[in-house]
Structure 1
Amino acid sequence: MRRARSKKGKIRRDPELKEFIRQRPDRRWSPEQIPQAPRTAFPDEPERHLAHETLYQAVHLPHRGGLERTPGVPRTGRPARRRRRRPYERATRFIDPGTLIGHRPEALNDRRVAGSREGDPIVGKGNRSAIGTLVDRSTRYVELLHPPGGRGAEQVRDALVHALGDLPAEPARSVTRDQGSETSRHDEFTRSTGVPVHFCEPAGPWQRGSNENTNGPLRRYFPKSTDLSLLGAGDLAFVAAELDSRPRKTLGWNTPANLFAKLVATLE
């Protein structure tokens, strides 16, 4: 009663508009798609034009109201709105939060500089087994990791240390991964090897483009129905060698193995 401009919500004030809108969620329209329909149906009645925020308020705010909560309204089925964090507010969920990809040094963003790798697990049948991948952003050289004894954070840390711990500084400049729980011991890996780990934004696999493009060819060897726990280090080395010996268009039809060998030779 104390509100300066107290009034019913737009949808509650207009029963015809309310019924017009109610038909759209039944067809599984999203809150951003629904407001486009009144603009087409009532082009000369701007008072009936909506923003998607109006629909959210009509469902979630009792004092605004207008749309009853029924199956399919809202389409996600969530009982309450979920606040979206801004990109600058996001952080990893680990004890040591790590560094997001947006803070990766500019020199490491240049693909012409070898030594920056992207990594990700490939999960097997029933999500019960996994192998790790590392792809060099410059040479596209692929390494497959065989976590000993499981796919937990300790096993992944040990596999990364084994793969990168003995390399010269240039071929091992950084690792970029997603925020899966298997990478939660990234700080221990960095202390052991001196190689920093950077993390993609949530739901941002495209930020590891080289790694994502490698997973497709790998799935031809390891379909999702494969029990990856049955594979040994020799099996993974064989597949990695086949991938690294293929000429790549993006490399001028050179092979990742040849470019990586030349890089290591210049540093010895």
Structure 2
Amino acid sequence: MRDYGFSPAQQDEIWHRWRAGESFNAMGRALGVPMHHVRSFLAQTGGIRHKPQGRSAGHLSCAEREEISRGLAAGLSARVLARRLGRASSTISREIARNGGRFAYRAVIADQAAYRRARRPKPTKLARHPALRAIVQDKLALRWSPEQISGWLRRTFPLAPDLQISHEAIYLSLFDPRRRRSIDRTLTRQLRSARPMRHPKGAKQRTGRGVIRDMVSISARPAEVDDRTLPGHWEGDLLMGTRPSAIATLVERTSRFTALVALPDGIKAHEVRPYLTRQLLHIPEPLRRSLTWDRGREMAEHQALAADTGVRIYFCHKRSPWERGTNENTNGLLRQYMPKNADLRKFDQPDLDWIAAELNDRPRRILGYRSPSEVYSGLLTSGDALTL
């Protein structure tokens, strides 16, 4: 294994920081080395640290084997030798039997044999059982997780131990370079993470960058927003194309009226806020009450946005984008115009206005087959809409 110029102490520090969840960048800065050196060092191991081979205190030492050899030459029994060494007699008997018997036992040869037998890794179960390996590879190709494969094997072959394997053994065969000959290495791409190396189980350390501060939870939204009785409450999100291209989408909850916002400068918070501010200020004030957004970092400047527009901003719970269901459904409709692999930077604001107008003119069953444009226009002239 290449050390990439890292001393043993530096290697220990890398592994300590890796288990703590630090990024490659952070580790590189701490060690004063290029980030890619740290990444290459970890990648060659599959993210799994290999401990150097050592001897357990419970195993026989070379000195003890020498005592056994001399005792056998003197005609002592295994039971007597066990008492002298403070070992179980069965331990001494097995040691003698597996190394040639009473008359052929030699301490150095026995010690070398014990070291060879203890070497790791031994042939894996997947390497020793081709039928099991074929099943595991087939299920990985179907994007099953190792845990799903392990559980399915236990249920399907309860009486066949050779066709069962733990999920941890599958992961090790995929990531550990010493075991990779036992399974197709490219199947790591079928895992949900698609990573070529194993990452620590603990969450990555927070750096403070991109954290959205002082969020107001969707739980604090007034009931009028949930039941859609009062118009002027919007949902928003970024519709992503090939990175870093994206557009912002805004949907009014009562009418399902959609507005699209071009983001020619990028998707960072300071690049998104000016365009959202301009779009929100174009909405008549009576229909500009609140905005519910996912927890995307593009909204890190939400307080400034709220101050500039007078719009109350709420955020979904963690990993709950479905709480903005109207916006999510609209984004699905927009994929007819803007596929996921499209570069959305080619759509300027007039293009997006045209797409939004076409979408808003479609009749919706939820609106009694009226179009969002019709309902939105009615809200603008409605006394209810003007009630603040």
Which of 187, 198, 209 aligns to 1:79? It is: 198
Secondary structure, in 3 states, of the residue corresponding to 2:336? helix
Does residue 114 of structure 1 match 2:231? yes
Matched residue SS, 2:198: coil
SS class of match (1:246): coil
Deviation string 1:148-200 (CA, Å, 9 cap, x unpaired) is 64443223211222122354554222212222222221111012222222233
1:157 corresponds in structure 2 to 273
Counterpart residue identity of residue 254, structure 1 = R
Q: Check the 8 A contact 1:117/1:175 in 2, yes or no.
A: yes
The answer to whether the 8 A contact 1:101-1:201 is kept is yes
Against the structure 1 CA distance between its residues 202 and 30, is the aligned structure 2 distance closer, same or farther, given a 3 Å change threshold? same
CA distance in 2, matches of 1:217, 1:237: 15
- What's the % identity of the aligned pairs? 34
Q: Aligned-pair distance for 1:260?
A: 1.1
Measured at CA, do residues 137 and 84 of structure 1 come closer, stay the same or move farther in structure 2, by a change above 3 Å? farther
Where 1:144 maps in the other structure, the secondary structure is strand
Tell me the equivalent position of 1:104: 221
- For residues 87-133 of structure 1, give each alpha carbon's deviation from its aligned partner in whole angstroms, at most 9, with x where no partner exists: xxxxx952514134344343322234322212122334x32432211
Which of 247, 252, 258 lines up with 2:363 in the alignment?
247
Report the Cα distance in structure 2 between the residues aligned to 1:178 and 1:164, rounded to whole angstroms: 17
Per the alignment, in what secondary structure is the counterpart of residue 99 of structure 1? coil
Q: Does 1:139 align with 2:255?
A: yes
Instruction: Verify: 1:212 aligned to 2:331, yes or no.
Output: no
| Greater mean alpha carbon deviation, residues 131-140 or residues 195-204 | 195-204
Q: Tell me how far apart the structure 1 counterparts of residues 229 and 203 of structure 2 sit (CA, whole Å).
A: 36
The amino acid that maps onto 1:79 is R
Aligned to 1:4: none
Q: Which residue of 2 aligns with 1:30?
A: 145
User: Does structure 1 residue 190 correspond to structure 2 residue 311?
Assistant: no
Native 8 Å contact 1:147 1:158 kept in 2: no
Contact 1:129–1:150 (CA under 8 A) maintained in structure 2: yes
Aligned-residue CA RMSD (Å): 4.0
Q: Distance in 2 between matches of 1:95 and 1:216?
A: 26
Distance 1:143 1:202, change over 3 A: same
* Greater RCO, CA 8 A, separation 6+: 1
Q: Which of the two has higher C-alpha Rg?
A: 2
Note if contact 2:146-2:170 (Cα within 8 Å) is conserved in structure 1: no
1:179 aligns with 295
How has the CA–CA distance of structure 1 residues 80 and 230 changed in structure 2, closer, same or farther, with 3 Å as cutoff?
closer
Question: Structure 2 vs 1, CA of residues 232 and 83 (structure 1 numbering), >3 Å: closer, same or farther?
Answer: same
What is the correspondence of 1:87-102 to structure 2 with a 5 Å cutoff?
94-102=211-219
Once the 2 structures are TM-superposed, how far is the Cα of residue 69 of structure 1 from its aligned partner? 7.0
Aligned residues: 237
**Does the 8 Å contact 2:263/2:345 carry over to 1?**
no
Give, in angstroms, the shift of residue 248 of structure 1. 0.6
Structure 2, unaligned stretches of length 5 or more? Answer: 1-123, 173-177
* 1:261 equivalenced with 2:377 (yes/no): yes
Residue identity in the other structure for 2:218: I
Partner of 1:238: 354
Over 3 Å counting, the alpha-carbon distance change for 1:38 and 1:143 in structure 2 is same
Consecutive unaligned residues of structure 1, counting only runs of 5 or more, are 1-14, 61-67, 86-91
Residues in 1 aligned to 2:325 and 2:210: alpha-carbon distance in whole angstroms: 23
Conserved in 2, the CA contact under 8 Å of 1:161 and 1:193? yes
CA–CA distance in 2 between the matches of 1:55 and 1:225? 34
Give me the whole-angstrom Cα distance separating, in 2, the residues matched to 1:213 and 1:94.
Answer: 27
**Tell me, what secondary structure is at the counterpart of 1:120?**
strand
The code of the aligned residue for 1:110 comes to: D
Q: Which deviations, in whole Å up to 9, do the C-alpha atoms of 1:216-262 show, x marking residues without a partner?
A: 33233334455433433222222212211211111111111111111
Paired residues of 2:257 and 2:360 also in contact (CA < 8 A): yes
Scaled by the length of structure 1, the TM-score of the pair is 0.68
Aligned partner of residue 119 in structure 1, secondary structure: strand
Determine if contact 2:146/2:171 at 8 Å carries over to the other structure: no
In 2 relative to 1, CA 245–39 (structure 1 residues): closer, same or farther, beyond 3 Å?
A: closer
Per-residue CA deviations over 1:40-65 (Å, capped at 9, x if unaligned) read 4337x9xxx99xxx8559979xxxxx
Distance 2:352 2:215 in 1: 29
